[in-house]
Amino acid sequence: MRLAAVIPPPLTSAMPDWIAIARADECPPGTSIERVAGDRMVALANVEGSFHALDGLCPHQGGPLGTGRLCGTILTCPWHGWQFDVVSGRHQISPTVRQPVHEVRVRDGLVEVRLRTEGAAPAPGTGGPA
């Protein structure tokens, strides 16, 4: 009797839809942290218990947004003071500058993000054009 070979599913380079990046208690209300999701840096912010995620590299000179200061919904880059709304991704001075935002959910105490791919339309309420 010959046993059939088990063929594993094909490997793909696609990332999973949701990526766990932190425990919820690692980012208390009023703070932000930086984490890696796949091959991207993400700034995770907790605004009064609601988590928001945006690309973690400041478009000005690549500063670490997640290590910046969060005041309300405004996250300030620690390098040169560029400020972004963590809900919409909108720069506070130039409305044409937007930082990509990502969907966030909390499951079993873990904060997970779904990365927005370049050129993809944002999910409802995640920083699309106003």
Read off the pLDDT of residues 73-117 as tens digits, 9 standing for 90 and up: 999 999 999 999 999 999 999 989 999 999 999 999 999 999 987
Q: Is residue 129 part of a domain?
A: no
Q: Is residue 98 part of a domain?
A: yes
Mean pLDDT estimate for the chain: 85
Q: Is residue 128 part of a domain?
A: no
Q: Is residue 43 part of a domain?
A: yes
Q: Is residue 6 part of a domain?
A: no
Q: DSSP per residue over 34-90, as a string?
A: EEEETTEEEEEEEETTEEEEEESB-TTT--BGGGSEEETTEEE-TTT--EEETTT-B
CATH of the domain at 40: 2.102.10.10
Number of domains in the chain: 1
Q: How confident is the model at residue 25 (pLDDT cuts 50, 70, 90)?
A: very high
Range of the domain at 49: 19-111
How confident is the model over 11-35, as a mean pLDDT? 85
Q: Is residue 48 part of a domain?
A: yes
